[in-house]
Structure 1
Amino acid sequence: MKTPGKEPEFARADAVAGLAREVDGLRRALDPLREVGARVDELARLVGQLAETVDAVSKRPAPTAAPSWLLQPADPVVVERVLGELCAWLRAVFLRYTDGTAALPECWLWHPDVVEELLWLMHAWCAAYQGKTASVQLVGDWHDRQRPGVVRRIRQNAGSCSIEKHQTRPDWDQYPTSSTPVPGLDAVSAIAGWWAAHRDDPAPEPASVAGSATNGVHRP
């Protein structure tokens, strides 16, 4: 017998079941939105990282370009200054390495490709060790890849050469020999003048094997 004013038990059960179905439907509808929210959070994190990277790159000083020996201006003063700096670096750094000393021929100044290699290697060393761009990674790359590569190419391309092979005068071998910390150091001025103003002509003739250190360079 139905009690007046009291809802039947089956009606309440149906209502609860219907509410459960609605809740389950809402849950199913909201689940994809939760995934979207997580993806939005991940995207925001990635955008933040990208913004930090762009900001760091924009504040990083621009790398310094290395001068090219092959494109030096037709100015003996400028060219001689470049060679002077290079010779000082060779003495202080490059010739401290046994394989560098063994690979560098006495006539290296007469080989534009060798001078070019040494010039960029010097600037790579400066970038690795000095200034705001210096880093352990650049130093490691200089030691592991750049310096050995230059030494190898100098040995391959000019390692068997000598002052004698650049000499044509019959009396070149009558001069006494001597040694210098940097081979051919006293030929810098003559080479600078040749490369600045006459690089399309033959190179000036060495005065002798020792002449690159003691007697200058002779141009016939």
Structure 2
Amino acid sequence: MTNSEGGRGQLPIFGTGPRDRPAGSTAGGTAEARGDAGQEGMLQLVLALADQMRELTATVADLQATQASRPSPGAGQAGAAGSGRREPEPRPWCWLRMSHTDKAERLSELADWVREVLMAWPAAQRAYTPCWSWHWDVVEDLSMLYLAWQTAYLWPGAGVREVADFLDRLLPSALVRASDRLKPCTHGHQPDGERRDDADLVDQAVNGLRRLPQLKGQGELV
């Protein structure tokens, strides 16, 4: 034996068994074993959590793919089958910018709707006299009502609220305006007469406003 008596209690750098451990090292070894077991359990927990995260990631990806494949709310039938773009809401008509040919076509379209749809309401038959198409302010109001009906009933982006708004607010208010506007025509068409021209009085007001800076500069205006 080459080790001296005093060196028997020294551990080698790499101990391989109980004979290499000094006396009283059993408790330390047990603690090390418990530590190794704890680390092993923690590793298993981390691996399990990693598996769950992979499953959640795959589930989220599936849900996103499913959501993307669905047509967006309000998308038109053509858009849902093709590009998926939202069909635009019907736009108002601007009669002043229409040609006479376009006006004739629009008025014919409006008259078809008045006959086939609007006159289903008895109140509309009482409100609109047969000469409604000869009063352009009434035509403007009716075209608004027609497009509001299109938006509520034919536009794919509409819902119950648009229908309720048409029935509860737009239609009743239009009937009230028509009843008041066409009252003189109850017993026959009454022409609206020539359009009033206020150009003279407007010119006086405009010229007066243009002179104000000059009057102020001359001290004539307090």
Name the TM-score, length of structure 2 as normaliser: 0.51
Match of 1:144? 164
Structure 1: segments with no counterpart, 5+ residues: 1-5, 166-172, 179-183, 192-200, 204-220
- Conserved in 1, the CA contact under 8 Å of 2:92 and 2:147? yes
* Within-5 A mapping of 1:9-24: 17=34, 20-24=37-41
Q: CA separation of 1:65/1:122 partners in 2, compared to 1, >3 Å: closer, same or farther?
A: same
CA-based RMSD of the aligned residues comes to 4.4
- Could you give the per-residue CA deviations for residues 130-176 of structure 1, whole angstroms, max 9, x where no partner exists? xxx5x9x75x55643324432222134343222638xxxxxxx9xxx
Structure 2: segments with no counterpart, 5+ residues: 1-16, 20-25, 73-78, 197-222
Amino acid paired to 1:155: L
Please state whether the residue corresponding to 1:33 is helix, strand or coil.
Answer: helix
Would you say 1:59 and 2:84 are equivalent positions? yes
Match of 1:92? 116
| Residue 94 (structure 1) shift | 0.9
Higher Rg of the two aligned structures: 2
Q: CA separation of 1:19/1:108 partners in 2, compared to 1, >3 Å: closer, same or farther?
A: same
Please state whether the residue corresponding to 1:160 is helix, strand or coil.
Answer: helix
Would you say 1:119 and 2:119 are equivalent positions? no
| Residue 127 (structure 1) shift | 2.2
- Conserved in 1, the CA contact under 8 Å of 2:118 and 2:124? yes
- Conserved in 1, the CA contact under 8 Å of 2:127 and 2:175? yes
Q: CA separation of 1:22/1:125 partners in 2, compared to 1, >3 Å: closer, same or farther?
A: closer
Amino acid paired to 1:124: T
| Residue 67 (structure 1) shift | 5.0
Please state whether the residue corresponding to 1:25 is helix, strand or coil.
Answer: helix
Give percent identity, aligned residues only. 15
Q: CA separation of 1:71/1:150 partners in 2, compared to 1, >3 Å: closer, same or farther?
A: farther
**Structure having greater relative contact order (Cα 8 Å, sep ≥ 6):** 1
- Conserved in 2, the CA contact under 8 Å of 1:95 and 1:101? yes
* Within-5 A mapping of 1:52-201: 52-53=69-70, 57=80, 58-59=83-84, 62-63=87-88, 65-73=90-98, 75-104=99-128, 108-109=132-133, 110=135, 111=137, 112-121=139-148, 123-124=150-151, 127=154, 133=156, 143-162=163-182, 164=184, 177=187
Would you say 1:41 and 2:66 are equivalent positions? no
CA distance in structure 1 between the aligned counterparts of 2:168 and 2:97, rounded to whole angstroms: 25
| Residue 103 (structure 1) shift | 3.9
Match of 2:195? 202
Name the TM-score, length of structure 1 as normaliser: 0.51
CA distance in structure 2 between the aligned counterparts of 1:89 and 1:38, rounded to whole angstroms: 57
